[in-house]
Structures are given as structure tokens and as C-alpha cells.
Structure 1
Amino acid sequence: MAERYSSFQSGSASWLFQRVTAAFLVVVLAFHFFLLHFMNHASEVTFAGTSARMSEWGYLVTMVLFLWTGTFHGVNGVYAALLNQGLTGTKKTAVKGILVVAGLALAAQGTYLALVMNGMV
């Protein structure tokens, strides 16, 4: 039988945050699909409608948290997968830096867009 290997130490902060963000993402993704794919069809989603939804504080905060948790979950998952493949040394440090910068840039741009859609910027 193959031995199980994971770059996550069970009980570590990365391990815990990966699971917490996964649980949050499942709930918010269900809300997103229900609201934007079942209550409204894709052809009915407009710029004006998106702006109206984003003007609601609860929706804005939920979508920004969705963005941040999704970004962390994805970047952390990619990093863990690369560690599982044996990434070490200087390459590990470089990849970690690139993923952190890319994740922060994505979160910043998405947050800015959400604030623009809200009318705050």
C-alpha cells in the first residue's frame, strides 16, 4: 500500500486555514450559484445589476471575503502541491515569493474592482 504524503503538517496553521477556507468557499459558492445562476440567468446579469448588488454592504463584504479566501486557498493549494512534488531550496523560496506577490496583486485588484462597483472609488 502506498504511503500517504502531504506537505501540510496536520494541525499547522496552513493545514487549518486550508480547511477553514474550503468550508467558507463551499458555503459562499453555493450562495453565489444560487443567486447568480438559478435566481438570475447569465443573460440577465448586467453591469447595472452587479453595481446594485455591490452597493449592499453585506453582499460587498461577502464577495470581498470570497475573493480573499479563494485567493488564499488557491495559492496555498498550488504551493502545497509543488512541495508535494519535491520543490526545495532556492526554487521553493522563489516560487513562494512569486505566489505571494501574485496572490496579493489578485486580492488587491479584485478588492479595488469591488469598491469601484460599489461606487466608493
Structure 2
Amino acid sequence: MAERYSSFTPGGTGWFFQRLTAAFLVVALAFHFFLLHFVNHAYEVTFLGTQARMENIGYLLTMILFLVTAAFHGVNGVYNALVNQGLKGTQKKVILAVLTLAGLALVAQGTYVALVMGGMI
């Protein structure tokens, strides 16, 4: 039988945060899906409605936390999948740097858009 390999150390910090963010994303995605597909149907979702929702500080903070959590979960997952495929040495460091910068850029841009939509900038 093939040996199981994972770049995550069971019980380690990376392993813990990957699971913690997954749990949060399930809840946040359910909230997001319920609000934008059942409370407000797709045809009712408008730019002005989005602005109105983002003006609610609780909603704004939830969506920013959703963005940060999703970015971390995605970047961490892709990085560890590549490490599991045998990424090593300089390539591993370069990929980590590129993914980290891409994740930070995504969070910065998304936060900026959320703040503008919420009328805070």
C-alpha cells in the first residue's frame, strides 16, 4: 500500500489553521449563499444593494474576514499541495514568496473595494 505523505504536520500550526479556516469558510459561505440566493434572489442583487449591505459594519467586517480567511486557506492549500508533489529548495521559496504576495495583493484589493463600497473611503 502506498505510504501517506502530507506536508502538514498533524497537530501543527499550519494543519490547525487550515482546518480552522475551513470550518469558518463553511459557515461564512453558508451565510453568504443564504443571504444572496434565498433572502435576495440573484436578479435582486444590485450594485446599490451591495453598497447598502457593506454600509452595515457587521456585514462589512464579516465579508473582510471571509476574504482574508479564503485567501489564507487557498494560498496555504495550494502551497502545501505543491510541496506534497515534491517542490523543494529554491523553487519552494520562490513559490512561497509568489503565493504570499498574490494573497496579500488579493486581500489588500478586496479590502479596499469593500471599504469603498461601504463608504468608508
TM-score range, shorter chain: over 0.9
Please, what is the CA RMSD of the aligned residues?
A: 0.6
User: In 1, distance between residues paired with 2:14 and 2:107?
Assistant: 18
Task: Tell me whether 1:114 sits opposite 2:121 in the alignment.
Answer: no
Deviation for aligned residue 1:42: 1.2
Residue type of the partner of 2:116?
V
Segments of 5+ residues of structure 2 without an aligned counterpart are none
Q: Which amino acid aligns with 2:20?
A: V
Residue of structure 2 in register with 1:101 after alignment:
101
Question: For 1:93-118, what per-residue CA distance to the aligned partner results, in whole angstroms no more than 9, with x for missing partners?
Answer: 00000000000000000000000000
How many residues align? The count is 121
User: Over residues 62-119 of structure 1, what are the superposed CA-to-partner deviations in whole Å (9 max), with x where a residue is unaligned?
Assistant: 0000000000000000000000000000000000000000000000000000000000
- Percent of matched pairs sharing the same residue: 70
Q: Which residue of 2 aligns with 1:58?
A: 58
CA–CA distance in 1 between the matches of 2:37 and 2:76? 28
Structure 1 consecutive aligned stretches of length 4 or more whose deviation exceeds 3 Å: none
CA distance in 2, matches of 1:118, 1:64: 11
Q: CA deviation at 1:41?
A: 1.4
Determine the structure 2 residue equivalent to 1:78: 78
Structure 1: where are the runs of 5+ without partners? none
Normalised by the length of structure 1, the TM-score is: 0.98
